Structure 1
Amino acid sequence: MWREADLPDGLEILRASCFDHRYPAHFHDEFVFAAFARGAQRHRIARFEGVAEAGTLMVIPPGEVHTGEAVERSRGWDYCAFYPSARFVEAIADEVLGGSGPVDFQGEVLRHDPELARHLLEASAAIGASGDVLTRQCAAYAAFGAVIARYGERPSGRRRAEAADTAMGQAIAFLEAHHGEPIGVNAVAETVGLSPYHFMRSFRAKTGLSVHRYLTQIRLNHAKALLLRGESAAEVALGAGFFDQSHLINQFRAQFGVTPGAFVAASR
């Protein structure tokens, strides 16, 4: 996994061969465009459960909670994933689709599309291997444009329903603002005027994650940004709200499949 600073919003890319690694329930602030090359991955995305095999294209909207693990550990699965920001996707949709309103992928998570999956896999390989900025940029724009053109929809005037109600939005904003501090559920519940029990049930129902797991995700996202600024793992652990460096490394590896050091070393 690495970040490309020369692509919009610091595009993150993952190329992986997984066997016994299991991704816990998590979310991304960005879209996920993934393509599968070998084996099979079992996953849960929101309430949808499925299997992604070779030739499968996966599109996950920002904020959608999902998991992933091998169908058979002895076989595992190989895949690549891109994490373009909503702003990056919408900018391409302006050119490819026209219209107005957020791009919509019609609620479909998986599509068996070997041609488009191969396009994304080749783009991932080209970006990882090329030292030329223009080559990397062209590969990313062409791959995302192909996905949006084939499966994106953007009718003029259409609006997407809000993902969270006002109370949960306020709670998430509170977690973001105080992620580096010790936080108890009472403090968050008080900010939205709910009892702790009611708040915890409502939060999980709305986001698909417990408050603790959601906060850990926020802390990991901030940790990535601090690591790329050159801060040490020990400094990042303290700044992002983890107990210590070991806690950060364990959570980072579980979430992203690589260590913080490997992520920084591979990023450009």
Structure 2
Amino acid sequence: MTGFSISGHQGVPGEALTEDAGIDLERLCGSPGDGIRVAAPVDGIERIEARLHGKVFEPHRHDTYALGVTLGGIQTFQYRGESRYSTPGSIIIIHPDELHDGGAGTEATLRYRMMYLQPERLIAALGDNGAALPFIAAPVVGDTALRQAIGEAVMDLDCGIDELALDDILTRIAEGLCRHAGTTAKAAGRSAKRAVFEATDYLRANLDRPVGSQELESVSGLDRFTLARQFRKVLGTSPHRYLLMRRLEQARRMIATGHSLAGAALDNGFADQAHFTRHFKRAYGVTPGRWATLALAG
């Protein structure tokens, strides 16, 4: 189901599943096409995507939170004395040290993505919102916001996660877990708003390069998770997204005045033109080349 009885197997995206990390898939499950793809850890967080048939995992425990999304088939497991079922789109939340097994609930292929989050990382992301680890009684929940946050964490097995983006993802996951545990968050105060605007000024002044979490901590006076939480409360977005959109805005203006696409990408901190094109199209619905044609024609 959610992984092996070790502290690091997570669910993640990707179509081609392989026998990575020395896992004996023939021993785990004999159906053709079964596999587990294991991504390189991102800042200590492990991620996987699995494609399985039948019961695969015997009862075991993790010392991490196992958080994932069922993508296809029916995921079934025993947890806290009950049989549980997760359908496509449902979120799975296994608390640290809780015994569980797992596998496919029907003959259809089970496909899911998981991430394994160390409790200490969650505690840091919680900040003042909670002194104890949030416990969610129901291990299968529906929650669009939490699913989106977990999905961003396991979106691409082949790539890492930007530091500012990871801060925001972990903050949103922490808030989602607290929400299902029945705890509440605090509103942003005047000092937090001032810190957020100090961070935005710094981000605007550094559009041409990567900005690290420690830099924003120094500028704002808030730790990275508190800043990510307050930033979203004040402006409705994350520091990572804010920086990305300011870069895209500036690049769009440059393109409209005749700058080359490659120049606009490099001058605004994008790794390469492909990276720039991908983000531009997600933000504006057209490629930079198409935008250049329309802007110059207008």
Q: Structure 2 length normalisation: TM-score?
A: 0.44
**Structure showing greater Rg:** 2
Larger RCO of the pair (alpha carbons < 8 Å, separation 6+):
1
